Amino acid sequence: MNDQINVLIVDDDANQRSGLAALVSAWGMKAETAGDGNEALAKLQGFTADVIVTDLNMPGLDGFGLLERLGETGEMPPTIVLTAFGDVETAVRTVHELDAYWFLEKGSFQMPALELLIRRAGSHARLHSEKRNLERQLSFQGVLGEMVGRSARMQEIFALLRQAAPSKASVLITGESGTGKEMVARTIHRLSPRREGPFVPVNCAALPETLIESELFGHEKGSFTGATERRPGCFETAKDGTLLLDEIGEMPLATQAKLLRILEDSKVRRLGGRTEFEVDVRVVAATNKVPEEAVKGGSLREDLFYRLNVFHVHLPPLRERKEDIPLITETLVGEVNRKHECKVTGLAPGVIDYLTRHSWPGNVRELRNVLERAVILAGEGPIEPRHLPAFLLGETTGQSAAAAAAGASAAPALQMEGVQFAIGTTVEEAEKGLILRTLEHTRNNKTRAAEILGISLKTLHNKLKEYGGSKEFANEA
């Protein structure tokens, strides 16, 4: 790996940029120069800069404009700003608001200090690059942040998130309830330059219409009955971070209009306030509705939709990517183990079949609930069919029987007729009923019954001992 640091020097003063380039070269680094921001952007098309050293005040595209353009692309290397106007306000804006790496006043620093600063910035750039490469490699293996999935659909989403996250652009996430929209938003936040800032999720559907503006924008003392003190809103709370507006289609239209203005101006006014103030917040929106239909139906403003829909991430339902269920299951079992201090080692043979045959109308959220229950019931060792809910066992048993009977000329496939479970039936009771009904269907042929049930013959014997029925069903083929 080449450890040489590439430095782009941007200054409209030819003598200063050539002199600085000579110094940088003498320090063993590679230097390229540009006379203004536009030339710098053109140079970056063919030169990978680890560090940029730029003047602020230049004709054409100045240092401020260069930083803003680089920030919009999400590809800004550590940038050291040099200026003759070293006041505090300029330093705050360039370092804090425009994400510059450091600020130096011309004539007030020693060259060894600049060399050290460039080397540290170069090391920072390399570490960031290595981290992104590692994240890219992990995503190809089915992991990106908290998200997992090796299916083609998820790989497309991972690629889109790697592009969208580093930028400042708004993102609209769509998908059915339980598909993981908030997880996508958190992944975007953690892969972005705002990762050190707050992540603030807001469920617009859970807020009463009378309170939603106060929650979002904040309020001044006395602005309405009960406003006994000034309170910051979610935009202020999410300053320098990411604000997730979940179920954006449930937001009142009047509030949508105010939100649109904030997105365009980056300014907020608290309820009852007289002045606006700037907020640096990235907004990510989510909805379980089809946004185009929400626009046609009048519940989502068309102009707000287009403003939010810079990047559109659509999450497919779990039933359309069942090949991801084994990896998701492995990940969730590990998480639940840690949460409840359990020692579950994995899944017993046949369990994954129960999981992949279900349609999962509640998507990943439903799968997580099922697995959390199973992990708690198992405690340690593998999750077995008896740890799964009755609806999974019943659904899959019927399908297994149909498959087993498809090539046989004997009895027809086992149906669920006659196996009815009242509300309140325990999993153990339902499991016992299914096993005994299956044995009745197979005329006590345990080998055939075990195949239909998707369990081992040993497990079936153990179950019958638990039920006290090992003697009752003595015929074994």
Q: Determine the pLDDT at residue 11.
A: 92
Residue 325 has pLDDT above 70, yes or no: yes
Q: Determine the pLDDT at residue 427.
A: 66
List pLDDT tens digits, range 173-184. Answer: 999 999 999 999
Q: What percent of the chain has pLDDT over 90?
A: 40
Q: Are 336 and 375 in contact (CB under 8 A)?
A: yes
Confidence class for position 145, pLDDT limits 50, 70, 90: low
Q: Determine the pLDDT at residue 63.
A: 86
Residues contacting residue 70 through CB under 8 Å, at least 6 positions apart? 41, 52, 76, 77, 79
Q: Determine the pLDDT at residue 374.
A: 93
| Rounded-to-integer distance, Cα 252 and Cα 211, Å | 11
Confidence class for position 127, pLDDT limits 50, 70, 90: low
Residue 139 has pLDDT above 70, yes or no: no
Residue 72 has pLDDT above 90, yes or no: no
Confidence class for position 82, pLDDT limits 50, 70, 90: confident
Q: Determine the pLDDT at residue 471.
A: 42
Q: What distances in angstroms separate CA 427 from CA 182, 235, 389, 454, 459, one per listed residue?
A: 32, 47, 6, 17, 16
Q: Averaged over 133-156, what is the pLDDT?
A: 68
Residue 355 structure tokens? 């999981």
The 3-class secondary structure across the chain, one letter per residue, is CCCCCEEEEECCCHHHHHHHHHHHHHCCCEEEEECCHHHHHHHCCCCCCCEEEEECCCCCCCHHHHHHHHHHHCCCCCEEEEECCCCHHHHHHHHHHCCCCEEEECCCCCHHHHHHHHHHHHHHHHHHHHHHHHHHHHHHCCEECCEECCCHHHHHHHHHHHHHCCCCCCEEEECCCCCCHHHHHHHHHHCCCCCCCCEEEEEHHHCCCCCHHHHHHEECCCCCCCCCCCEECHHHHCCCCEEEEECHHHCCHHHHHHHHHHHHHCEECCECCCCCEECCCEEEEEECCCHHHHHHHCCCCHHHHHHHCCEEEECCCHHHCHHHHHHHHHHHHHHHHHHHCCEEEEECCCHHHHHHHCCCCCHHHHHHHHHHHHHHHHCEEEECHHHCCHHHHHHHHHHHHHHHHHCCCCCCCCCCCCCCCCCCCCHHHHHHHHHHHHHHHCCCCHHHHHHHHCCCHHHHHHHHHHHCCCCCCCCCC
Q: Determine the pLDDT at residue 473.
A: 43
Q: Averaged over 278-286, what is the pLDDT?
A: 93
How many CA atoms lie within 13 Å of 227's alpha carbon, on the beta-carbon side?
20
| Rounded-to-integer distance, Cα 157 and Cα 149, Å | 10
Residue 244 has pLDDT above 90, yes or no: yes
Confidence class for position 133, pLDDT limits 50, 70, 90: low
Q: Averaged over 8-17, what is the pLDDT?
A: 91
Q: Are 7 and 51 in contact (CB under 8 A)?
A: yes
Residue 416 has pLDDT above 70, yes or no: no
List pLDDT tens digits, range 388-402. Answer: 998 888 754 444 433
Q: Are 66 and 160 in contact (CB under 8 A)?
A: no
- CA angle, 36 then 194 then 69, to 5°: 20
Q: Averaged over 423-440, what is the pLDDT?
A: 74
- Report which of residues 134 and 63 the model is more confident about: 63
Closest CA to 76 of 107, 49, 111, 55: 49
Share the mean pLDDT of the chain: 82
Confidence class for position 424, pLDDT limits 50, 70, 90: low
Question: In 10 A of CB 417, how many CB atoms?
Answer: 8
Residue 48 has pLDDT above 70, yes or no: yes
Q: Confirm whether pTM is higher than 0.75.
A: no
- CA angle, 453 then 457 then 461, to 5°: 100
Q: Averaged over 193-209, what is the pLDDT?
A: 89
Cβ-count burial of 41 within 10 angstroms (0-12 exposed, 13-18 middle, 19+ buried)? middle
Q: Determine the pLDDT at residue 148.
A: 84
Domains of the chain: 6-133 (3.40.50.2300), 144-316 (3.40.50.300), 322-467 (1.10.8.60)
Q: Determine the pLDDT at residue 422.
A: 56
Q: Determine the pLDDT at residue 375.
A: 92
- Report which of residues 358 and 458 the model is more confident about: 358
Residue 237 structure tokens? 């709370």
Q: What percent of the chain has pLDDT over 70?
A: 82
